[in-house]
Amino acid sequence: MNIKVEKALNKQVEKEASSSQFYLSMASWAENQGLNGTAKFLYTHSDEERFHMLKLVKFINERGGTAIIPNVEAPKKNFKSIENVFQLLLNHELAVTECINQLVDVCLQEKDYTTHNFIQWYVSEQLEEEALARTIMDKINLIGKDKGGLYLFDRDLENASIQIEKTTVN
Ligand code: FEO
């Protein structure tokens, strides 16, 4: 496997692993706040990021490279509010999209069209994840300080995570 592509893919393995840990920390925080729907959504999201990481690990190894399983820095444990959680999540996804775009650049520079093709799945996934994070932020902004709204929002997220689980399994 092309060394530069392998290095860039391994960097992405680390990014997905740290995303998974970050969302796991958010999920645990939400659970302790009694926001069970939000927690469920974030636990599912954390699992999804682990799946993104595994998919990269397997691809690197199958193509004759060596996947490197990284040390992951401990994520932030305390969050100011649910708004803070989802703003951080959106910012994080925007940063991940940037990394995926850089990965696409490396593939094109190195003329590795097979990896380029593989990475397109992540390009589409980022579009969906950014859109979902923006929709959630819009809802949070609509709710403002309304406690009843927060209750309904939390319930909605529980349903959203059930939908995500269904699509991830297939
Ligand atoms: Fe794997 Fe949310 O990016």
Range of weakest confidence among 16-20, 144-148, 160-164: 160-164
164 neighbors 129 (Cβ within 8 angstroms): no
Ligand 1 neighbour 52 (Cβ under 6 A): yes
* pTM tops 0.75: yes
pLDDT at 170 > cutoff 50: no
Which listed CATH number (3.40.50.620, 3.90.600.10, 2.30.36.70, 1.20.1260.10) goes with 3-169? 1.20.1260.10
Cα(148) to ligand 1 centroid in Å equals 31
Closest by Cα among 7, 17, 14 to 115: 7
Confidence band of 164 (pLDDT split at 50, 70, 90): low
Whether pLDDT at 158 is above 90: no
Two structure tokens written together for 138: 């819009």
pLDDT for the residue numbered 43: 97
Dump pLDDT digits (tens) for 75-131: 999 999 999 999 999 999 999 999 999 999 999 999 999 999 999 999 999 999 999
Q: What is the pLDDT of residue 150?
A: 87
- Report the alpha-carbon distance of residue 101 to residue 43 in Å, rounded: 26
* Range with the poorest average pLDDT among 63-67, 68-72, 159-163: 159-163
Q: Which of 22, 13, 23, 1 is nearest to 107 (CA)?
A: 1
Which residue's CA is minimally distant from atom 2 of ligand 1? 93
Report CA(115)–ligand 1 centroid distance (Å): 18
Which is more confident, 156 or 64? 64
Instruction: State residue 162's pLDDT score.
Output: 64
**Spatial distance between the Cα atoms of 21 and 27, rounded to a whole number of angstroms:** 10
- Is the CB–ligand 1 distance for residue 93 below 6 Å? yes
- Compute the distance from residue 43 Cα to the ligand 1 centre, in Å: 13
Question: Residue with the nearest Cα to atom 1 of ligand 1?
Answer: 49
- Contact call for residues 9 and 115 (beta carbons, < 8 A): yes
